[in-house]
Structure 1
């Protein structure tokens, strides 16, 4: 083996170790994130089984369930947050939006629409809820209503990428179907 072959071997080995190190870093970071979420989940579940929780606690647990795609459990927690009489109105819009997302995840689009509309009623400039409502309308094949709601979102937030992309797609679809 001559000198250039040894150098090439060292370069390949170094590149392999670099790739392996980057992969190990990302895997370790994901493990740490997952562990934090699982610890928070366990802590919240124990606390809320033992005593009545607060709106933010039920919302946080519901959000964790949503991340894990545990929609039935998320719905139960988010409904508990809504039922608390000490809940402040502005704080409720994200809870209704999350509840809509949970229903959407179960393909219960009518229920999702109802929750998104409630979120928007509580917070009229809630663009994320508008995008979610537009998506639910699309799933229900209500193209005109979806386009209207995306345009409302764009009026409030002109740089909203989701609303831009979806409204352009719907406009093209409406032009093609009208020909």
Structure 2
């Protein structure tokens, strides 16, 4: 049975539709009633042109918003179908380590974190692929633990991720975030500094490192 390919990044993606409302003004031919309204009558074509442009822009926004809503529905449906088929493969004992990973990522997206932990840990136990790619599984597991406020477990998972893939900037940033939640400021700063070694322009790491340096300096005195 073919299983739709669902990557962890797609499973974690969030889409927020935009909502817009339009109002329309009515113009009356007042010049026909009183010559004093000639200027208003002459300006009316221009006002109508501006109004049409305005409404056209709003319709474009509404169209884009509708597109996002439809896309959100399609993504949700795709995830539901993928989860169903992947769970069938798990029950039959045919699921690969990559499929456990995909199913775990889907459960993270659906905020079923206990199930996510279960499938991601099974993916790790059964992993037969490249060790650097396994870092992504540990990162997803860390995110799932983090979402449950299990910061100690999240730190362990993130540490494993960056040990497998030292240049994994996202993993270092996530590790720093989890360490901050545990108020381990110095270790968190080290994690962000390491992220900056591999990506000096990373805004998240740079911003957090700046704040933590000030905090660590204050604690020294």
The question of a shared fold, defined as TM-score above 0.5 by the shorter chain, is answered with yes
Q: Using a 3 Å threshold, how does the CA distance of structure 1 residues 13 and 97 change in structure 2: closer, same or farther?
A: closer
Structure 1: segments with no counterpart, 5+ residues: none
Counterpart selection for 1:28 from 41, 65, 70? 70
SS in 2 for 1:34: helix
Would you say 1:44 and 2:86 are equivalent positions?
Answer: yes
RCO higher in 1 or 2 (8 Å CA, sep ≥ 6)? 2
SS in 2 for 1:125: coil
Alpha-carbon distance in structure 2 between the residues aligned to 1:96 and 1:163: 20
Would you say 1:104 and 2:146 are equivalent positions?
Answer: yes
Would you say 1:149 and 2:191 are equivalent positions?
Answer: yes
Residues 96-153 of structure 1, C-alpha deviations (whole Å, 9 max, x = no match): 1111111111111111111111112222222211111111110000111100111011
Q: Using a 3 Å threshold, how does the CA distance of structure 1 residues 12 and 75 change in structure 2: closer, same or farther?
A: same
Would you say 1:172 and 2:214 are equivalent positions?
Answer: yes
Alpha-carbon distance in structure 1 between the residues aligned to 2:51 and 2:60: 14
Q: Provide the residue aligned with 2:134 in structure 1.
A: 92
Would you say 1:138 and 2:180 are equivalent positions?
Answer: yes
Structure 2: segments with no counterpart, 5+ residues: 1-27, 30-40
Q: Paired residues, what number?
A: 179
Alpha-carbon distance in structure 2 between the residues aligned to 1:13 and 1:159: 41
TM-score by length of 1: 0.87
Q: Provide the residue aligned with 1:122 in structure 2.
A: 164
Bigger Rg, which one: 2
For structure 1, which segment, 49-58 or 166-175, has the greater mean C-alpha deviation from structure 2 after superposition? 166-175
Alpha-carbon distance in structure 2 between the residues aligned to 1:138 and 1:176: 16
Q: Using a 3 Å threshold, how does the CA distance of structure 1 residues 16 and 121 change in structure 2: closer, same or farther?
A: closer
Q: Using a 3 Å threshold, how does the CA distance of structure 1 residues 12 and 172 change in structure 2: closer, same or farther?
A: same
Q: CA RMSD in A?
A: 2.3
SS in 1 for 2:174: helix
TM-score by length of 2: 0.72
Residues 53-92 of structure 1, C-alpha deviations (whole Å, 9 max, x = no match): 1111111111111122211111000111111163442232
Alpha-carbon distance in structure 2 between the residues aligned to 1:36 and 1:90: 28
Q: Provide the residue aligned with 2:37 in structure 1.
A: none
Higher helix share: 1
